[in-house]
């Protein structure tokens, strides 16, 4: 049977893919179906067809999977955030574990690989310490503050009760939405690049209970901003800082081109295992604080650190991993290409009175070889936590040339992780442990820690 675009077919879903879509087959032809669950029997319509797979949408559910649950969110399936909210949590864990195993076997060429049982998130709701919201208009051209609509980036869906952050995030959202709407402030339009209000970031430090708020706008005056600040502070006295920033770029990714106002301090303090972390509005910090404690502890346990050792932390960000491990080794060197992150890392070292760390600014690909040539450092342990697209081949080759005793690879993308691991194992290392950690309940994202040792 030849599948055709817009054709209607019956299908049974057998698996879940990294990316969140269910997978079924029609006469051995793979079909990816968003918001489907293994065990579902569906009537679908083909929306796109390639040479070896097709994509489809659900027309109706013939038989429900036993893995399904009723999503508690009213906008589920429209905002794209919790793309697994319709799958019960135990099943989410089962399929995340399977995705990691499949990636290592299929992409990394690691046959019959042992993967430790995935560690669940301590909390499956209200776990996020940071949320990014957008100002915009909905399908009816009404003012909104919430999340971009799937497939229609110029549309924004109002968020009344997001289940991922602490509940007070929703209250902050309501105050800002009501205040800005009453003053007829125009939201930014990503198509015409006109309008004033752009985005909102809310951050929360779990251990200190401090809140940081950033509102990003186009050029122009924000009327009665002092009244909004007073309103927020009165309702939430634990707000430590409120920033009003100008974002001029056409890119939707939040950035600070000019700071117009700052109330209070420019950071909040989080603490993990006694280490304090300064978190500024745009700095990177893992969004699941309790999950981060598990992640850092796993990295430490895998590394088998000794006080005489030197440790190299690549893609070190704001120094989260480096500072957590610093007290267990002689020296830590971190390399990171984001200037603000390096500044935060150095400030965090000072804040904690940690004096055995060096944080270098630069692209790992070029900065690492230069540092090795000029310093003569040798490293017993290397920790890498690269972006989603993994490591450049030159970085992998440089790491292999350093011949560390132990290499710890941390990744939120099992596909690029598996690709890089294949190159590392081909270079004289063997995998001794793989530990998935669920840092992102109700999404397809998975954090994985891999320990490799020199043969």
Bridge-based pairing of strands 331-336 and 357-361 is parallel
* Residue 360: C-alpha distances to residues 195, 225, 335, 345 (Å): 39, 38, 5, 10
User: Residue 81's pLDDT is what?
Assistant: 84
CB 353 within 8 A of CB 330: no
The C-alpha atoms of residue 304 and residue 300 are separated, in whole angstroms, by 7
CB 424 within 8 A of CB 401: no
CB 443 within 8 A of CB 84: yes
Q: At what angle do helices 414-426 and 393-402 cross, to 10 degrees?
A: 40
Backbone torsions φ then ψ of 313, nearest 5 degrees: -115, 105
The C-alpha atoms of residue 179 and residue 170 are separated, in whole angstroms, by 14
To the query of whether residue 412 is one of the catalytic residues in this protein, the response is: yes
Nearest residue to 9 via CA among 50, 47, 45: 45
The C-alpha atoms of residue 323 and residue 347 are separated, in whole angstroms, by 11
Superfamily of domain 8-63: Nucleic acid-binding proteins (2.40.50.140)
Radius of gyration of the chain, Cα coordinates, nearest whole angstrom = 24
User: Residue 256's pLDDT is what?
Assistant: 85
Query: pLDDT tens digits for 91-136?
Result: 999 999 999 999 999 998 888 889 999 999 999 999 999 999 999 9
* Residue 221: C-alpha distances to residues 212, 218, 232, 244 (Å): 21, 9, 19, 10
Q: What are the tokens at 11?
A: 């299908």
Is 3.10.290.10 the CATH classification of the domain at 106-121+283-454?
no
CB 22 within 8 A of CB 54: no
Total-model pTM: 0.93
For the domain 130-271, what is the CATH code? 2.40.50.1070
Bridge-based pairing of strands 152-158 and 310-314 is unpaired
Task: With a cut of 50, list the residues of the chain below it in pLDDT.
Answer: none
Could you state, in order of their start, the residue ranges of all structural domains in the chain? 8-63, 106-121+283-454, 130-271
User: Residue 239's pLDDT is what?
Assistant: 98
Q: What are the tokens at 442?
A: 């109700």
Residue recorded with tokens 């105050």: 175
**Catalytic hit among 79, 82, 162, 412:** 412
């Amino acid at each position: 049977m030849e599948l055709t675009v817009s054709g209607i077919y019956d299908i049974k879903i057998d698996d879940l893919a990294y990316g969140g879509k269910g997978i079924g087959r029609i006469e051995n032809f793979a079909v990816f179906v968003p918001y489907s669950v293994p065990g579902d029997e569906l009537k679908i319509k083909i929306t796109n067809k390639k040479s070896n797979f097709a994509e489809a949408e659900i027309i109706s559910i013939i038989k429900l999977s036993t893995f399904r649950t009723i999503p508690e969110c009213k906008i589920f399936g429209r905002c794209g955030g919790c793309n697994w909210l319709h799958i019960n949590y135990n099943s989410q864990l089962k399929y995340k574990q399977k995705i990691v195993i499949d990636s290592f076997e299929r992409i990394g060429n690691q046959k019959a690989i042992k993967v430790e049982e995935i560690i669940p998130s301590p909390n499956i709701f209200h776990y996020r310490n940071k949320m990014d919201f957008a100002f915009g208009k909905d399908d009816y051209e009404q003012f909104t503050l919430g999340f971009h609509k799937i497939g229609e980036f110029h549309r924004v869906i109002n968020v009344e009760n997001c289940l991922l952050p602490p509940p007070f995030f929703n209250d902050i959202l309501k105050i800002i939405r009501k205040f800005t709407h009453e003053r007829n402030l125009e939201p930014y339009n990503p198509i015409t690049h006109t309008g004033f209000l752009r985005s909102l970031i809310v951050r929360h430090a779990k251990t200190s209970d401090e809140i940081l708020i950033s509102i990003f706008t186009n050029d122009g005056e924000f009327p009665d901003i002092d009244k909004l600040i007073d309103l927020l502070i009165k309702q939430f006295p634990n707000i430590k800082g409120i920033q009003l920033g100008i974002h001029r770029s056409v890119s939707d990714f939040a950035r600070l081109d000019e700071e117009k106002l700052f109330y209070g301090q420019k950071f909040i303090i989080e603490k993990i295992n006694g280490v304090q972390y300064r978190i500024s509005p745009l700095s990177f910090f893992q969004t699941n604080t309790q999950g981060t404690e598990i992640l850092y502890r796993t990295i430490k346990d895998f590394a088998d650190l000794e006080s005489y050792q030197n440790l190299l932390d690549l893609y070190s960000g704001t120094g989260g991993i480096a500072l957590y491990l610093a007290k267990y080794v002689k020296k830590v060197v971190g390399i990171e290409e984001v200037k603000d992150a390096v500044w935060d890392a150095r400030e965090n070292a000072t804040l904690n009175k940690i004096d055995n760390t060096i944080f270098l600014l630069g692209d790992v690909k070029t900065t690492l070889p230069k540092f090795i040539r000029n310093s003569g450092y040798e490293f017993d342990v290397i920790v890498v936590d690269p972006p989603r697209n993994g490591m450049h081949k030159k970085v992998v080759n440089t790491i292999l040339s350093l011949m560390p005793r132990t290499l710890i690879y941390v990744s939120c993308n099992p596909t690029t992780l598996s690709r890089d691991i294949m190159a590392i194992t081909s270079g004289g290392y063997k995998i001794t442990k793989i530990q998935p950690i669920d840092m992102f309940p109700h999404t397809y994202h998975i954090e994985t820690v891999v320990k490799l040792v020199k043969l």
